């Protein structure tokens, strides 16, 4: 794994939350919080990435993550290139690194990368030029660090002390990069109990989530929970035989009002999106008073602004040193 911080402790890449300290995570969340505005207000903007170029390279479909990275970069004053991979030269056989080197030659400074294959963001970071920064926007089932940060930010805005919380994640845990990054973030800050609820064929191994409680009993998983996060079924990462029946899945594992009532009265409901209503979550729960799902989307833009500003500060310092 490539080093994510330089010798002076400045963020160079964000590939994973593993290795980040509690203080580093809280600093990112604090900066992200400063970018939040009330609905209807003018969004927070700055020129911290003025004259910089950000390339969004999404080799998997995305709505929320791609849009929020693009908005975040533009609100920081950057030039943004969102490459349509289906019509790029990769479709003609160009290698991944040749695509990176081509965009480097066009003076792109920050690459936001999503890929279905594990290890791609780290691989790019190892081979990219020294001035280039790589941000992982979702890596196979392995990691989604900015999602982990925005989920943690959302939880802390409602329940600042995570150390005593019971957090329950329900759904396709085995194939979920969201669950893995959430577990990493909560593990760094400290959490009372992390419960993972899934059908047996969608359950991870215990060593993937050390310290977590694994169960296929939904009622047991949600009882007394402070936070409940529902996950979608990752059909694109499993064989057809492993894809559960939608109606049966909702009956056995869907988060509905009856199951939500088993949690603490002030429990919050989360979902990383995209949602499959009446599969993993009931519409009246997704849109209900305990839902913070749309808040997660808002916080996602702020978190990505904070992360890009952090690597942008390093870019600015390097340019100033070069000018001297």
Tell me: the pLDDT tens digits for 296-310? Answer: 999 999 999 999 999
> Looking at the structure, do residues 136 and 172 belong to the same domain, yes or no?
no
Would you call 44 exposed, middle or buried from its count of C-beta atoms within 10 A (0-12, 13-18, 19+)? middle
Token pair listed for 57? 């390279």
Residues 192/200, Cβ–Cβ less than 8 Å: no
Q: Do 264 and 316 reside in the same domain of the chain? A: no
Could you read off the pLDDT of 53-64 as tens digits, one per residue? 999 999 888 999
- Summarised one tens digit per residue, pLDDT across range 114-129 is 999 999 999 999 999 9
The pLDDT confidence band at residue 265, using thresholds 50, 70 and 90, is very high
Tokens standing for 245?
Answer: 């029946």
What local confidence, expressed as pLDDT, does residue 313 receive?
80
**Both structure tokens of 234:** 């990752």
| Domain identity same for 135 and 181 | no
Q: What is the CATH number of the domain that holds 183?
A: 3.40.50.1370
Of the pLDDT bands very low, low, confident and very high (cuts 50, 70, 90), residue 237 is low
Query: What's the rounded mean pLDDT across residues 125-147?
Result: 96
The DSSP string of 261-309 is: TTS-TT-EEE--S---BTTTB-HHHHTSTTB-HHHHHHHHHHHHHHHHH
**Angle between helix 293-323 and helix 145-158 axes, rounded to 10 deg:** 120
pLDDT at 90 (0 to 100): 64
Is residue 7 one of the residues assigned to a domain? Answer: no
Helix or strand run (H / E) with residue 166: strand 166-170
On the question of pLDDT at 321 being above 50, the answer is no
Name the residue with higher pLDDT: 165 or 235: 165
Q: Is the same domain home to 132 and 202?
A: no
Question: With bands split at pLDDT 50, 70 and 90, how would you rate the model's confidence at 324?
Answer: very low
Q: How confident is the model at residue 87 (pLDDT cuts 50, 70, 90)?
A: low
Band the pLDDT of 1: cuts 50, 70, 90. confident
pLDDT of residue 189 exceeding 60, the answer is: yes
Task: Please give the pLDDT value at position 322.
Answer: 37
**Residue 237, φ and ψ in degrees, nearest 5:** -110, 15
pTM (predicted TM-score): 0.94
The answer to whether position 285 is within a domain reads yes
Q: Residue 210 gets which letter from DSSP?
A: T
Closest CA to 293 of 277, 276, 269, 274: 269
Please say if the pLDDT value at position 234 is more than 90. Answer: no
Residue 10 lies in a domain: no
Are residues 133 and 169 located together in one domain of the fold?
A: no
Q: Which domain holds residue 58?
A: 22-144+297-323
Mark whether 83 and 29 lie in a shared domain: yes
Q: Is the residue at 3 inside a domain?
A: no
Q: What is the pLDDT of residue 105?
A: 97
CB crowding 220-235: b at 16 or more within 10 Å, else e: ebbeebbbbbbbbbbe
**Angle, nearest 10°, between helix axes 22-33 and 177-189?**
110
Phi-psi region of 260 (alpha: psi -120 to 50; beta: other; left: phi over 0): alpha
In the chain, the percentage of residues whose pLDDT exceeds 70 is 92
pLDDT of res. 92: 63
How would you label 295-315 residue by residue, b for 16+ Cβ within 10 Å and e otherwise? bbbbbbbbbbbbbbbbbbebb
Does residue 96 form part of some domain?
yes
Q: Is residue 163 part of a domain?
A: yes
Collapsed DSSP state (helix, strand, coil) of residue 71: helix
* pLDDT band for position 4 (cuts 50, 70, 90): very high
How many H helices and E strands in the chain?
A: 11, 9
In a domain, 281, yes or no: yes
Which three-class secondary structure state does DSSP give residue 169? strand
Q: Do residues 135 and 175 share a domain?
A: no
**How do strand 227-230 and strand 166-170 relate by DSSP bridges?**
parallel
Between 236 and 156, the more confident residue is 156
Same domain? 289 vs 152: yes
Is 242's pLDDT higher than 70?
no
Within 10 angstroms of residue 156's Cβ, the number of other Cβ atoms is 17
| 75 and 108 inside one domain | yes
Length of the chain, in residues? 324
Same domain, yes or no: 110 and 150:
no
For 133-145, letters b (16+ CB in 10 Å) and e give bbbbbbbbbbbbb
The answer on 173 and 251 residing in a single domain is yes
The answer as to whether 219 is a domain residue is yes
Average pLDDT, the chain: 92
Mean local confidence (pLDDT), 309-316: 81
* Residues 99 and 175 both lie in one domain: no
Number of domains, the chain: 2
């Amino acid at each position: 794994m490539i080093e994510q911080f330089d010798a002076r402790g400045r963020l160079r890449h964000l590939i994973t939350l593993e290795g980040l300290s509690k203080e580093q995570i809280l600093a990112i969340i604090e900066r992200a919080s400063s970018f939040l505005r009330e609905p209807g207000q003018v969004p927070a903007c700055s020129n911290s990435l003025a004259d910089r170029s950000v390339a969004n390279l999404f080799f998997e479909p995305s709505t929320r993550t791609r849009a929020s990275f693009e908005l975040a970069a533009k609100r920081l004053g950057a030039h943004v290139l969102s490459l349509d991979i289906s019509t790029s030269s990769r479709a003609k056989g160009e290698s991944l690194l040749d695509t990176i080197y081509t965009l480097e030659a066009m003076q792109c400074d920050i690459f936001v990368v999503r890929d279905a294959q594990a290890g791609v963001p780290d691989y790019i970071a190892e081979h990219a030029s020294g001035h280039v920064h790589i941000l992982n926007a979702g890596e196979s089932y392995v990691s989604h660090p900015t999602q982990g940060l925005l989920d943690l930010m959302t939880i802390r805005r409602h329940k600042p002390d995570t150390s005593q919380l019971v957090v329950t994640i329900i759904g396709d845990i085995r194939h979920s990069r969201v669950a893995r990054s959430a577990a990493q973030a909560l593990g760094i800050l400290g959490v009372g109990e992390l419960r993972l609820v899934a059908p047996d064929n969608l359950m991870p191994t215990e060593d993937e989530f050390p310290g977590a409680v694994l169960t296929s009993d939904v009622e047991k998983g949600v009882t007394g929970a402070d936070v409940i996060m529902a996950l979608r079924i990752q059909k694109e990462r499993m064989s057809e035989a492993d894809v559960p029946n939608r109606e049966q899945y909702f009956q056995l594992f869907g988060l509905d009002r009856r199951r939500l009532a088993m949690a603490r009265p002030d429990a919050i409901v989360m979902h990383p999106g995209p949602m499959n209503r009446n599969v993993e979550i009931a519409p009246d729960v997704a849109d209900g008073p305990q839902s913070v799902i749309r808040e997660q989307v808002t916080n996602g833009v702020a978190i990505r602004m904070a992360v890009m500003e952090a690597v942008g500060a390093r870019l600015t310092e390097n340019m100033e040193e070069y000018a001297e």
